[in-house]
Amino acid sequence: MELDAIITPQDHTGLQIAEVSVEEILNCKTENIRCRAYDIAMTGTRYQVLKRSRVCACCGIIGNRMFLDFDKAQSEETGKDCCHFNLYAESYDTLHNNRHLCLMVKNCIVPRSKGGDDLDLSNLQTMCYNCANLKELTDDLPLEKLRTIMFPAYRAYRSTNVLNKAKEFTLAFRDKIGKNENAIPKIQEAMKVVKVEKLPELEKKIETLNKQTAELKEMVYKFELEAQTTGVVPESLE
């Protein structure tokens, strides 16, 4: 099969040669695909695993973009250009306004170190690179245990980052609240020594500061609460 439907990659440089259709690659029935003058063998177990499922068995992220990638290490080892089709899951980080690509890989359910067969399809599953690494680093914990570690930690990380980002927006308002709260006791002290006719003016000033401070506190509270509840920092405090 010769692939013609090549999409020029955008915002991708380096080892990624071109973006291709996920469906066209994974639905391919032939043993080889010719793409950009490269012959790609489709008989490896990795492609079979990805054809069976594009979903990470641990976190559930879905592989939705595929690229023809240049394999630098294998090319240097063999002395000839080597390329592969690699599937990636694309995610959008609303906090930092970034897009991320995570490589989807085949993973042994029972690892080779514990007697698992890395050529037996019944022992292979699709995982994203992050989860596969975490599984390996935690001595191949069962997926349910991995999830109990990963998801609470991820939620705490996201919540902390969102709150910190929200506090960057509210910093000036918090400064104003602090200045108001510091000013009120000073005005109250001044009221003990000023002339009587000045008291109404100072009382009015305290009333204004108290009202303004309460409004600012309510605004900041609602802003930060919305950020933590939705996981996205609002564009303004209005």
Residue 94, pLDDT score: 61
Among 51, 35, 183, 225, which Cα is nearest to 43's?
A: 51
Neighbours of 49 (CB within 10 A): 19
Which contacts of 226-229 are long-range, i.e. CB under 8 A and separated by 24 or more positions? 227/162, 227/163, 227/165, 227/166, 228/159, 228/162, 228/163, 228/166
Residue 38, pLDDT score: 87
Residue 4, pLDDT score: 41
- pLDDT tens, N- to C-terminus, the chain (238 residues): 444 433 433 333 347 788 899 999 999 889 999 988 888 999 999 999 999 999 999 999 999 999 999 888 888 888 888 889 999 998 776 656 667 888 999 999 998 888 888 889 999 999 999 999 999 999 888 899 999 988 888 888 778 888 888 888 899 999 999 999 999 999 999 999 988 899 999 999 999 999 999 999 999 999 988 887 777 788 777 6
